[in-house]
């Protein structure tokens, strides 16, 4: 059970970090022009 929760948290963190990186990259492109 603990392993399942750990895997779920890890996937959630990976998704959020990916979303944040994509948002930052989009912001950089938006500022450049």
Domain boundaries, the chain: 1-33
What's the predicted TM-score (pTM) here? 0.64
Closest CA to 12 of 26, 1, 4: 4
Query: What pLDDT score does 1 carry?
Result: 82
For residues 31 and 27, what is the distance between their CA atoms, to the nearest angstrom?
Answer: 6
pLDDT tens per residue across all 33 residues of the chain: 899 999 999 999 999 999 999 999 888 777 665
Query: What pLDDT score does 26 carry?
Result: 87
Three-state secondary structure call for residue 13: helix
Query: What pLDDT score does 27 carry?
Result: 82
């Amino acid at each position: 059970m603990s392993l399942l929760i750990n895997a779920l948290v890890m996937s959630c963190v990976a998704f959020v970090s990916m979303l944040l990186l994509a948002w930052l990259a989009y912001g950089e492109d938006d500022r450049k022009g």
